[in-house]
């Protein structure tokens, strides 16, 4: 658990470095870092609760997805939605294209802010459920 918390905090320090030095640039990378912060906090939370971690994003989703009848540790729907937004925004930023137009860049920044809000809400949930962040 400790290593996942340390990795999440290191990712958050990297995110702060990007924000401090690049401002609104690199929103695609910020969304990726935000997701990996969430992933490491999630893994620490699963360890805290003695639940399986999964070895892929698909396995992790199947563990926490409240819509899955085989979920070993279904999250409350809203909490799962926060995680899923982080995952989807990160995936889209990495794989779905290049952002050139002003509108595309603005959308990317909006999604980055959305991801940041979702990470904050996930962390708040994990803390209320006993994870010491």
Q: Would 109 be classed as within a structural domain? A: yes
- Look at residue 112 and tell me if it is in a domain: yes
Q: Is residue 133 part of a domain?
A: no
pLDDT at 95 over 90: no
pLDDT by residue (tens digit) across 18-57? 988 987 778 889 999 999 999 999 999 999 999 999 999 9
The model carries a pTM of 0.94
- In a domain, residue 79? The reply is yes
Inside any domain, residue 8: yes
- Pairwise CA distance, residues 126 & 75, whole Å: 11
Q: Which domain holds residue 96?
A: 2-128
DSSP characters for 53-91?
--SSHHHHHHHH-TT-TT-SSPPPHHHHHHHHHHHHHHH
In a domain, 74, yes or no: yes
Q: How many domains, in total, are found in the chain?
A: 1
CATH number at residue 103: 1.20.120
């Amino acid at each position: 658990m400790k290593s996942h918390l340390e990795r999440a905090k290191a990712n958050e320090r990297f995110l702060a470095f990007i924000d401090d030095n690049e401002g609104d640039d690199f929103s695609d990378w910020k969304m990726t870092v935000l997701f990996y912060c969430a992933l490491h906090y999630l893994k620490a939370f699963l360890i805290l609760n003695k639940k399986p971690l999964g070895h892929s994003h698909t396995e992790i989703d199947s563990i926490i997805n409240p819509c899955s009848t085989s979920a070993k540790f279904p999250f409350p729907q809203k909490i799962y939605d926060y995680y899923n937004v982080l995952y989807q925004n990160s995936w889209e930023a990495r794989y779905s294209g290049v952002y050139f137009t002003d509108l595309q860049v603005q959308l990317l920044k909006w999604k980055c802010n959305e991801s940041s809000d979702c990470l904050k809400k996930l962390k708040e949930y994990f803390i209320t459920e006993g994870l010491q962040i």
